A and B are shown apart, each in its own frame.
Chain A
Amino acid sequence: MIRALFALLLLALVGTAGADEAAVRRMLQGKLGDAAIESVQEAPFGSLYEVVVRGADGVRILYVDDAASVILNGQAIDAKTGANLTRERERKFGAIKWASLPFDDAISIVRGNGRRKIAVFSDPNCPYCKRFEKDLARLGDSTVHVFLYPVIKPESLVQTKAVWCAADRAQAWRDLMLRDLQPTAKPDCATPVEKLVALGHRLGANSTPTWFVETGERYSGALALDDLRKILDEASPPKR
């Protein structure tokens, strides 16, 4: 009698639990092209599984219902805060290792105590990179690592090389970006510029400015100063 009850209970449990992670993986098989499933777990909302998919162009999040019958290809927005929960997760899973960036190949500009750390892939012929540079200069305590990324215009290559070959690289970069003064050094020294272009491509930087914060999370675009400061304060909090 007890055994029969237990069996019934078990059956009921199975009935409500719906599909499991394995079923989600099975259902997605052959539907993701060259991309691979990195993880499947219950989403923190709805009766959904969150599926992390990694492909050539980065990380994507999909959702699957608990019966493994529907794939949701979209974004979850927190109705209270407006936060894009899907993009936050994609950003987290797509993060790089901050320490893996080749900082010796960057132009590093320290202001104040240098607390807020940012690595920026920037092109002198991208107007938004110039706007961004202005805001970076107004951040206060910060360390800005500029990775020269001449991808927007052919002439960017010579300009960035000339910046790298200048006696004072940081000054040459600031002159070019903030004051529109062309670099005067001959662009004929050994530069990491080609290497940085390859690195940027590898990191999927298909636009400029593309930037990374200390947690390794990637952002695109010249965000407004207040938004930028908020993100950097979260990634590089003040030490107590």
Chain B
Amino acid sequence: MKALLLVLALAATPASAQLFGNQELLEPDKAFRVSARALDARNVEVTFKIADGYYMYRERFSFATADGRPLAGVEIPRGKVKEDQFFGKQETFRDFVRIRVPVSAADAAKGTLTLNITSQGCSDKGICYIPQTQQVQVPLPRS
């Protein structure tokens, strides 16, 4: 009984991970944390913060408006090339990735951009997450 330790909240903090060789898998929205901000009236920057030990695939990102219209001209930086035994060369991101999304004149006029962002990644612990779609709303400055 006394040999038992309670780890309170935030079990996935690095300290407890070190202490217990943490086998915990994060939920995908915690493994890949999305945020977005307006760079100016016509450009939005989407950032994924990627948890340590997780990675995302460059080719699996897609961006659409709230009504499902795919967005063109999205600038995703080059990823690190991962040579996969089965799947050939794949570009992946670790730590973070910043993606520039252009805003159409029509959307800019609304003053807010609602983005549906689909992404997919895996964990070094041996799993791949099914693609997740997250919605973010970005207030836009007046042009």
State the A residues within 8 Å of B (CB). Answer: 45-46, 63, 72-80, 82, 84-85, 87, 123, 125-132, 151-153, 180, 205-209, 220-223
- B8 touching A74 by the CB < 8 A rule? yes
A127 partner, pick from B24, B60, B86, beta carbons under 8 A: B86
Q: Do the beta carbons of B127 and A152 come within 8 Å of each other?
A: no
Minimum CB–CB distance from A149 to chain B (whole Å) comes to 9
Are A206's CB and B130's CB within 8 A?
A: yes
Q: Which of A63, A128, A207 contacts B130 (CB 8 A)?
A: A207
A57 to chain B, nearest CB (A): 8
- In this assembly, does B6 line the interface, its C-beta being within 8 Å of a C-beta of chain A? yes
| Known contacts A82-B21, A127-B86, A206-B28: A75-B128 contact under CB 8 Å | no
B15 at the binding interface (Cβ < 8 Å): no
A206 / chain B contacts, CB cutoff of 8 Å: 27-28, 129-130
- Chain B, Cβ-Cβ closest to A205: B130
Secondary structure class of chain B's binding surface, majority of residues? loop
Q: Are A76 and B7 in contact (CB under 8 A)?
A: yes
Interface string of B6-40 (1 = CB under 8 A from A): 11111100000000110111011000000000000
Instruction: Mark B29-64 against chain A: 1 for CB-CB distance below 8 A, else 0.
Output: 000000000000000000000000000000010000
**From A149, which residue of chain B is reached at the shortest CB distance?**
B130
Contact of A220 with B25 at beta-carbon distance under 8 Å, contacts A125-B87, A207-B130 already known: yes
A220 near B127: Cβ-Cβ < 8 Å = yes
Are A131's CB and B128's CB within 8 A?
A: no
Which B-chain residue is minimally distant from A154 (CB atoms)?
A: B131
| Bound: A130/B128 CA distance, A | 11
Q: Does B84 contact A (CB under 8 A)?
A: yes
CB distance A75 to B7 under 8 Å?
yes
Enumerate chain A residues within 8 angstroms of B129, measured Cβ to Cβ: 206-207
**Contacting residues, chain B, for A46 (C-beta < 8 A):** 1, 4, 6
